[in-house]
Amino acid sequence: MPEYDVVIRQGLVVDGTGSPGRVADVGILGDRIVEVTEKLSGSVYREVDAEGLIVTPGFIDPHTHFDGQATWDDRLDPAFGHGVTTAVMGNCGVGFAPVRPGAHTELIDIMEGVEDIPGTALYEGMPWGEWESYPEYLAYLLA
């Protein structure tokens, strides 16, 4: 069994603390960064050469309107392709839960008017009827 699942080698690590960037290796085990140091040794499942690249923690996008898209797109591109690892939804007081059976038209109209999201995408893309409450909506997204 390897010590690390992934080691990102020799990238310029900019950690978001305000400290100057430094060239280092980043050791990852499971879904956690377990070590950042000048040179990691030990067994590794996969290595990524980051020489000449910047290695940063994920970015938080605090204002998105992925509430609909999250029901049909597990990648939420282009945001996550650009390094976003956390997206906050339900902004502007608009979300798709809770929703009474048959009341989704009102929510679509609001989202279309406030955020200019095409209603056709929300009508056709979202699996209406799969949830009513907010906990059911979250369970659907996490399934």
**Parent domain of 21:** 4-57
Q: How many distinct structural domains can be found in the chain?
A: 2
The predicted-structure confidence for 80-135, as pLDDT tens digits, reads as follows 888 888 899 988 888 899 999 999 999 999 999 888 899 999 999 999 999 999 99
Of 57, 72, 98, the residue that ends a domain is 57
Q: Are residues 64 and 132 in the same domain?
A: yes
Is residue 56 helix, strand or coil? coil
Read off the CATH number of the domain in which 41 is found.
2.30.40.10
- Mean pLDDT over 61-69 rounds to 91
Is there a single domain that holds both residue 70 and residue 96? yes
Q: How far is CA 22 from CA 6, 7, 33, 61, 84, in A?
A: 19, 16, 16, 25, 22
> Are residue 19 and residue 79 in the same domain, yes or no?
no
Examine the domain organization and report whether 76 and 45 are in the same domain.
no
